[in-house]
Each structure stands twice: as structure tokens, then as C-alpha cells.
Amino acid sequence: MEMFQGIETFRNNCIEPIVLALGNFDGVHNGHRQILRATTAAASEISAKSACLIFTPHPLAVLTPTKAPALLLSFQDRICALGKAGIDYVIVHPFSRGFAAILPERFVKEILREKLGVSGIVVGFDYSFGCRGAGTASELKEMGTRFGFFVRVIDPVTVDGVPIGSTAIRQYLAAGRVEAAAAMLGYPFYLRGTVIHGDGRGRKLGFPTANLLVNCELLRPGNGVYLCKAACGDKVFWALASVGNRPTFSKEETSLEVYLLDQEKNLYGQELIVSFLQKIRDERAFSGPVALACQIQNDVALVKSLIASPKPWSS
């Protein structure tokens, strides 16, 4: 997979016919992967290359910053996931208010046909484009006929009758429903961060934790305690993760603390990737450190019983 910064850069370097997937692809979830599979298949049918056009920053971060969603994947992880899906080229174009003002037909004629020279387009059923999102997938199909390229619109992919989408996944994660989110994502939701020094309270309680510094643009699951797997390099550990404000100690900032089960490792300065498997309990305030330590002991006993159970993630 090759990545190109900007539409002009792409066309200055690549002249092959392309089938282009359009969408934001935050999370590269199971619905997205259906679109990407259709894109690579369509490209193969006509001996073209598959490509994906994404924008940075997120359009809402430019148009209505207060409504911009927290992201499911970092930019680097999203690019990696698109490559793993088999896409040949990823075109990353800067999003601006000027670009947002382009009318739908002009976007199709000037950007898709003339600048990118697409042979085909693949989009999801709810795709919208152009100024204020006025263009629809059905209109794109009609314009494709006029401008000489095919358009394939992918039907919704559902889990238990619910259409898969980034918004639904965010709602599940905010509610702590990480298993439901994983069913839509196709993988457990994860956060990666650098281990930094905390206030040392976990060690004093007998449960030394790794405090993670995570990209502020990324979504955190709802506050609570979770059973996780934590990867450091090629090592993977069972872990408990606490997301929240540490109310027992009157903290206000949201933190992510990870306790590796049956492990004593110095991880300062290293990257940890934490995959959230199941919520254990809500965050709550305790009467003091002793009561909190007792609860953590109970949490550890509970997750060890869960690890021993025949869950899909037990292996």
C-alpha cells in the first residue's frame, strides 16, 4: 500500500485507472471492510488499482469543532488498517472550508473524474458529499453514468439488526459496552499510549499500575474497570484497566491506568496497546485506600475466573 498526501500529488505520480472507495473510515469497522472488499474486487475485475480517499482533519473538526467526534483509531492505525484490507493507494487530502463548499456535481466532475480519473466508485448506502452533504449515494450513481464511471453502493451491514456505523460504535463504547463495539468493529477496541509516571498510589496499594498517555483525539470507553489484554512489543499480558477520574482521591482529569496481572515490569517510556474485552464494574468512590485495595483484590479474582471461562477472547 502507498500513501499520497493530496489529490494533486497522487495524480502526478499515478496514472493507472483506479476504483475509489469514499468515506471517512474511522475505525475501519466491519461495514467499512465490506466497502473495501467491494473496491478491491471491482478493481480486479477491470485490471485497475484500488484506492481510498480520506480527509484530514475530520471534516467536523473544521466545520463545527465543538461537534467533532472523538476518533476510534489514530491516523497511523487507520492507514495501517486500510492497507491490511488490501487497498493499493490511500490518498490523504487536507480538508478545509473551501473544499467543503464545493457543490456535489462539481466534486464529481472536477475532483473524481477530471483530477482523479476514476473508473469506478464504491460507497456505503448512507454516503453524502459536496457542500453541506447535499449529494447522496443515489445521486452519485446517476452522475457516474453521466461522467463515465460506475458506482457501486454497498447495503448496510448489521449486527443483531443494528446497522454498523462509527456513531453506533462510539455510543456502545461510551456506555462501556465494549463487547458490542467489538462485534461491529471486528476486533476489540484498543488504545495505544506511552507509559508515564503517575502518583504511585497503585504501588502503595499493592497493585502497581502503568499510567498511559493517550492521544487526546481518541475516544475513551466509559468510566469503569475493564478486563483487557495489554501488548508491549511482542509480549501480551492479561490486565485490568481503570478509565476515569479516580474519585476516591478526588481527581478531576480522566486517566487510563493498567494493572498487569501477575507481572512486575518496568514499562516507563514504552508503548502499551490496551485492548478492552469486558467491563467489570462502574467507577465509584471508596471510603479510602484500604477499601479500594479490597475491591481491586475482588476485581482480580473475578477477571481470573473470566479468563478461565470459554470466552471468544480467552485464547
Domains 2-162 and 188-308 share a fold: no
Cα 65 to Cα 217: distance, rounded to the nearest angstrom: 12
**Over 60: is that where the pLDDT of 250 sits?**
no
How do residues 271-283 score in pLDDT, each as one tens digit? 999 999 999 999 8
Please say whether the beta carbons of 50 and 40 come within 8 A: yes
Return the domain boundaries, the chain.
Answer: 2-162, 188-308
Pick the CATH number of 2-162 from 3.30.2320.30, 3.30.930.10, 3.40.190.10, 3.40.50.620: 3.40.50.620
**Over 70: is that where the pLDDT of 251 sits?**
no
Residue with the bigger pLDDT between 19 and 311: it is 19
Tell me: domain 188-308, CATH 3.60.40.10, correct? Answer: no
How do residues 40-85 score in pLDDT, each as one tens digit? 999 999 999 999 999 999 888 988 988 899 999 999 999 999 999 9
